[in-house]
Structure 1
Amino acid sequence: MKTPNRLTDCPERQMLAYMLDHTRAELIATVRGLSEAESRRRLVPSMTTPIGLVKHAAFAERKWFQHILGGLPESACDGAMVGEASFTVGDDETVADVIAEFERASHRARTIAADVDLDATRQHPACGTVSLRWIYLLMIQEFARHAGHSDILREQTDAIRRA
């Protein structure tokens, strides 16, 4: 087997896993160092907040990897399985708690996906037949988009701090 000397020519599975981990880390980086109040500050008309984006990402990990790929019933997943409400963070949850929740969900996602072939398919009630490859690409897209949202919110928060 060829040993890749850089990420750009490594096997597809390794590349997808790396890119997904990279977008996970980028999303987490946007909330590290924010105070509890800053992480919850609404700077856009929607309910979107930096901590809410990480909370939602944990939900997405559970939905796609535990429920769809792993076949677990929603009740057996590691946390809340509620769509749009997944952006809602409880008053008792801290930034550290939500990051830890996302990291636990990400770890479990890696474990579930580890022995599944990229071409293996599962059924999603709305999307139909999906492969693990498609789930990886969806999660990379989802987390990159949310990291971008959170990066802008972080930039606004940092500007408020300096003002």
Structure 2
Amino acid sequence: MSVRSRRGQLFGGEATESRITAHVNAGERDMLAGMLAAQRATLELKCSGLGAELAERSVEPSTLSLLGLVRHLADVERRWFRRVLAAQDAPALFSSPDDPDGDFDGAVSDPAVVERAWEAWRAEVAFAERFTESAPDLEVSGKDGWLGEVPLRWVLVHMIEEYARHNGHADLLRERIDGAIGV
């Protein structure tokens, strides 16, 4: 007789166990940054071990793919941390006003496209982590054309929500590709 496991336990391994680093009694900044780091690590875990398969689409007519999510989240990180909070002139890397879905539409299985997506995502995450760590407090804010003045605290909460939502997509996409399931 085989022993059944819960779906959430099947992805397993050291990468799964080391994702959550923020202590439950950490200060607010450390807790928010830690939860966001865990969501980022989850995205990497869901994409681990894949190459060209990252570009596999969910179902027609959707252009949703794991690679598209990596490209999309690189642009989202860039928008909130570089453009809004740091006030840099940093246009999106994968989408534009003329190609608003370029992050997903351009997610093709070319190894150079895959490599560029990961490089961009990692660079944007590193910038965001440095910005968060060096900010004097969570009230540091930037101007967003849609929402007005937004503090770092709000951006961190929003980014946790953004990753959590897309990591749900990543769960389903990964399971469709090779059957890998779990948290």
- Report the TM-score when normalising by structure 1: 0.83
Partner of 2:156: 136
String of CA shifts for 1:34-92, please: whole Å, max 9, x gaps.
230x21111223111011101111111111001100010125x8x44635322333546
Answer whether contact 1:123 1:129 (CA < 8 A) is retained.
Answer: yes
Q: Which amino acid aligns with 2:87?
A: G
State which of 45, 62, 65 in structure 2 corresponds to 1:49: 65
Residue ranges of structure 1 left out of the alignment (5+ in a row): 1-5
Answer whether contact 2:39 2:163 (CA < 8 A) is retained.
Answer: yes
Deviates more, 1:20-29 or 1:93-102: 93-102
Residue ranges of structure 2 left out of the alignment (5+ in a row): 1-21
Answer whether contact 1:69 1:113 (CA < 8 A) is retained.
Answer: no
Give aligned pairs, total.
152
- Report the TM-score when normalising by structure 2: 0.75
| Residue 28 of structure 2 corresponds to residue 12 of structure 1 | yes
Q: Which amino acid aligns with 1:85?
A: G
Partner of 1:102: 121
Q: Provide the alpha-carbon RMSD of the alignment.
A: 2.1
| Residue 140 of structure 2 corresponds to residue 123 of structure 1 | no
1:67, 1:92 → 2: CA distance? Answer: 28
Q: How does 1:39-118 map to 2 (within 5 A)?
A: 39-44=54-59, 45-75=61-91, 79-80=93-94, 82=96, 83-87=100-104, 88-89=106-107, 91=110, 93-116=112-135, 117-118=137-138
Which structure has greater helix proportion?
A: 1
Tell me, what secondary structure is at the counterpart of 1:123? strand
- In the TM superposition, structure 1's runs of 4+ consecutive aligned residues that sit over 6 Å from their partners are none
1:112, 1:124 → 2: CA distance? Answer: 17
Query: How many angstroms does 1:31 deviate by?
Result: 1.2
